Amino acid sequence: MLSKRIIPCLDVRDGKTTKGIKFKENIDIGDPVEMARYYYEQGADEIVFYDITASSDRRDIMIDVVHRVAEEIFIPFSVGGGIRTIEDMRRVLLAGAEKVSVNTAAVRDPKIISDGARAFGSQCIVLGMDVKKVEASEKIPSGYEIVIHGGRTYMGIDALAWAKEAENLGAGEICLNSIDADGTQQGYEMALTPLISENVNIPVIASGGAGNIDHLCDVLTKGKADAALVASIVHYGTYTIKQIKDELDARGVKMRMRW
Amino acid sequence: MIAIIDYKAGNLRSVERALKKLGSPCRITQDKEEILNSDRIIFPGVGAAGKAMADLRHLGLDKVLRQELEANKPILGICLGAQIILERSEENNAECLGFIKGDVELFAQPLLSEENERLKIPHMGWNGVRLQKKHPILEGIAPADEFYFVHAYYPRPVSDEYVIGTTRYGIEFPSVIGYNNLIAAQFHPEKSGRAGLRLLKNFCTWDGRYVE
């Protein structure tokens, strides 16, 4: 039986992780390679890197990070942030990432999904979606709208329609981020997540809002998510990945328990 | 030296990196001489069966692989490499290598879990392998170990004699198959953490002999 995945997300700027304190172990919390290895050894099922480097001429630093991570950890990991072209994808994948995620670039030009899927296979292409709840309307029938710029710009695109379109274009997975829930630690978006997950045939990773084990349990069961992204609750030491998996396993959520 | 067969079927670097971690010398190659001179062969691959077979034939590697199979050299197929060793694939209706009698089939829809929930296709993520037979390559692998899968098609040999391990995803499908010096895994050992590295390590020391 397929396990539900627990996926820590690391934000990286200029080759350094930007969050993460209160680690008891003696590791360099600013080093994405060490952080990745730490989570790998704790039983993370996959790792997501999000490159928030502002200037594009410093992107090579991220490629170097990907190279070094690939030599250290032997589970899938994906890289997102600043992926705008097929060539950007190729560099990240050749450096050793299993998957690459596109968000804003795909909203602006959906063809990057189909081109990427054709060049590298659907299993490599993750669509990142930033979503905000709005009044349901003719244009946004699901009541969830695609946003960019961290939620500041509304794109007039319905989230459910976009998820289905991306699947048709060849996306292999969706990372569904609720801007409303993100950072609140009040739980994942429990209406949006099943709405998307039950209407596509590709895996959905729920993102945004994890504050405790109940939230993770809910989104992986009632929320129909195939995987859950975790950030603050592991970076700030509230739980270790192992504690999360032990707890979820005890509650009957199928987890990979040996690593 | 281990030859990792390069026939343009996806990213082979992750296999190379895992072997490097294990300290096993390897080369990514499509050179016939180099393959014939290797001690063992890894035959990976992602992508579509039709294109993979066309590329293999174009490079003449289908014949090299058959020759090596018959020469009893240890061969490990991974993912697509565990599919195109059968006779044909439903994917692109491709004629395949035919090292194992049987077909490659698409998971039938709707695929339902034991709780009657709809399962997504592709099968993507971590899942267990139930050992149907002992095999040197699975030495040290525990029942609770899981492996990373990404696939919509699965190998279906005509006879259980080829089935070493099975995995549950709506149906119980063969996830490790082989005979004699040929072994193949539908999952990605190079992306399957410690259990996957253990399997690769076992392969690196396997003499290619297998008796049930």
State how far residue A257 is from chain B, nearest Cα, in angstroms.
Answer: 7
Q: Do A256 and B47 touch (CB under 8 A)?
A: no
Identify the structural domains of chain B with CATH numbers, from first to last. 2-205 (3.40.50.880)
Residue A227 lies in a domain: yes
Per-residue confidence (pLDDT) for residue B200, from 0 to 100: 98
Per-residue confidence (pLDDT) for residue A215, from 0 to 100: 98
Per-residue confidence (pLDDT) for residue A23, from 0 to 100: 46
Residue A259 lies in a domain: no
Read off the CATH number of the domain in which A228 is found.
3.20.20.70
d(CA B208, CA B212): 13
Residue A42 lies in a domain: yes
- In angstroms, what CA-CA distances link A166 with A86, A103, A201, A227? 16, 11, 11, 18
Region for B142 from its dihedrals, namely left if φ exceeds 0, alpha if ψ lies in -120 to 50, beta otherwise: beta
**B126 neighbourhood in chain A, CB within 8 Å:** 2-3, 5, 45, 256
Reported as a single tens digit per residue, the pLDDT across B58-81 is 999 999 999 999 999 999 999 999
pLDDT tens, N- to C-terminus, chain A (259 residues):
999 999 999 999 989 988 755 444 555 678 999 999 999 999 999 999 999 887 777 778 999 999 999 999 999 999 999 999 999 999 999 999 999 999 999 999 999 999 999 888 899 999 999 999 999 999 999 999 999 998 999 999 999 999 999 999 999 999 999 999 998 999 999 999 999 999 999 999 999 999 999 999 999 999 999 999 999 899 888 999 999 999 999 999 999 999 9
Per-residue confidence (pLDDT) for residue A28, from 0 to 100: 62
Range of the domain at A72: 5-250
Interface of B with A in 5-34 (CB under 8 A): 10-11, 13-14, 17-18, 20-21
State how far residue A75 is from chain B, nearest Cα, in angstroms.
Answer: 4
d(CA A11, CA A79): 10
- In angstroms, what CA-CA distances link A89 with A9, A95, A149, A229, B189? 19, 10, 21, 22, 24
d(CA A131, CA B197): 38
Catalytic entry in A31, A130, A158, A182? A130
Residue A257 lies in a domain: no
Q: B136 at the A interface (CB within 8 A)?
A: no
User: Smallest Cβ distance to A75: which of B122, B127, B191?
Assistant: B191
Q: Domain count for chain A, please give it.
A: 1
Residue A255 lies in a domain: no
- In angstroms, what CA-CA distances link A164 with A167, A192, B119, B179? 5, 14, 17, 42
Q: Do B18 and A74 touch (CB under 8 A)?
A: yes
Catalytic entry in B26, B151, B188, B204? B188
Total-model pTM:
0.96
**B46 band by pLDDT with thresholds 50, 70 and 90:** confident
Reported as a single tens digit per residue, the pLDDT across B9-21 is 667 889 999 999 9
Per-residue confidence (pLDDT) for residue A65, from 0 to 100: 96
Annotated catalytic, A57? Answer: no
What mean pLDDT value characterizes chain B? 95
Q: Please determine, for residue B47, whether its predicted confidence score (pLDDT) is greater than 90.
A: no
User: Smallest Cβ distance to A96: which of B17, B144, B146?
Assistant: B17
Supply the ipTM of this predicted assembly.
0.94
Cβ neighbourhood burial of B31 (10 Å; 0-12, 13-18, 19+): middle
